[in-house]
């Protein structure tokens, strides 16, 4: 990457950072382009070289931050030797929830945007930008996907449930705090997977555990 491209990248990131900071502190609506460029330390026109408008940068931010969340969760998963798919899923969800608990600002921003649409976009555009190879992550989780009927529907339901539930529980402790909610949530996720299962876990599955170790 030459000097010019490096500089472009720097400006783009400065705008991203400024926008994220402002969107999460004052809200998208009350954040103006002027605010963003002032904070990013670039000229007004520069903004329009990189983004169409406020909503463009917001969408790109959502995709960016979402994929980061998944990437982190995937990375953490790889540090473990969990083998059972069901356990992997629970681990990922738990990790993501914990990320949100740690960074409520992030949750406020991504909020209900951690939806299937965004997730799908991340998958499809994978490799397009600087975003990671999400497709890999997704498939690494569902490499044994043959075991499920309609795995896409299954993932969809899990994402939507977790996304919506976290928002309320983490940010407002409504109807209960997230820790109190977790057992029920994980049970629901577990049940969704069970409902989609085509074959019962067999000894050979257990054998795979052995491989992991």
Residues that bind a copy of itself (CB under 8 A): 29, 112, 115-117, 120, 150, 152-154, 156-157, 160-161, 163-165, 167-168, 172, 174-176, 180-181, 184-185, 187-188, 191-192, 194-196
Identity of the residue, 49 or 207, whose beta carbon is nearer to DNA in the bound complex: 49
Among a copy of itself, DNA, none, the one that 8 touches (CB under a kind-dependent 5 to 8 A) is DNA
Min separation Cβ 84 and a copy of itself, Å: 19
Residues forming the site for DNA (CB under 7 A)? 3-4, 7-8, 11, 30, 32-34, 42-49, 53-54
DSSP symbol at 127: T
DSSP symbol at 51: -
Contact yes or no for 42/15 (Cβ under 8 A): yes
Among a copy of itself, DNA, none, the one that 116 touches (CB under a kind-dependent 5 to 8 A) is a copy of itself
Contact yes or no for 162/189 (Cβ under 8 A): yes
Residue bearing tokens 């257990």: 206
Min separation Cβ 17 and DNA, Å: 15
Identity of the residue, 37 or 192, whose beta carbon is nearer to a copy of itself in the bound complex: 192
Phi and psi dihedrals of 148, rounded to 5?
-110, 140
Provide the 10 A C-beta neighbour count for residue 108: 16
Contact yes or no for 116/180 (Cβ under 8 A): no
Identity of the residue, 36 or 96, whose beta carbon is nearer to DNA in the bound complex: 36
Structure tokens at 61: 């931010």
Among a copy of itself, DNA, none, the one that 4 touches (CB under a kind-dependent 5 to 8 A) is DNA
Among DNA, a copy of itself, none, the one that 168 touches (CB under a kind-dependent 5 to 8 A) is a copy of itself
Which helix (H) or strand (E) segment is 80 a member of?
A: none
Min separation Cβ 32 and DNA, Å: 3
Cis peptide before 148 (omega within 30 of 0): no
Contact yes or no for 69/99 (Cβ under 8 A): yes
Among DNA, a copy of itself, none, the one that 82 touches (CB under a kind-dependent 5 to 8 A) is none
């Amino acid at each position: 990457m030459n000097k010019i491209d490096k500089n472009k990248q720097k400006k783009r990131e400065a705008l991203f950072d400024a926008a994220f900071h402002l969107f999460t502190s004052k809200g998208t609506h009350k954040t103006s382009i002027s605010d963003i460029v002032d904070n990013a330390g670039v000229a007004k026109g520069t903004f329009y070289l990189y983004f169409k408008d406020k909503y463009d940068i917001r969408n790109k931010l959502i995709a960016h931050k979402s994929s980061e969340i998944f990437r982190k969760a995937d990375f953490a998963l790889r540090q473990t030797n969990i083998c059972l798919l069901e356990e992997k899923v629970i681990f990922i969800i738990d990790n993501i929830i914990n990320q949100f608990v740690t960074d409520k600002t992030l949750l406020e921003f991504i909020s209900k945007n951690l939806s299937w649409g965004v997730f799908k976009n991340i998958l499809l555009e994978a490799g397009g930008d600087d975003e990671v190879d999400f497709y890999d992550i997704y498939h690494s989780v569902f490499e044994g996907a043959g075991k499920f009927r309609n795995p896409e529907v299954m993932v969809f339901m899990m994402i939507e449930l977790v996304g919506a539930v976290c928002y309320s529980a983490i940010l407002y402790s409504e109807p209960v705090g997230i820790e109190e909610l977790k057992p029920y949530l994980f049970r629901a996720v577990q049940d969704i997977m069970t409902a989609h299962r085509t074959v019962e876990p067999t000894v050979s599955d257990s054998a795979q555990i052995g491989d992991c170790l």
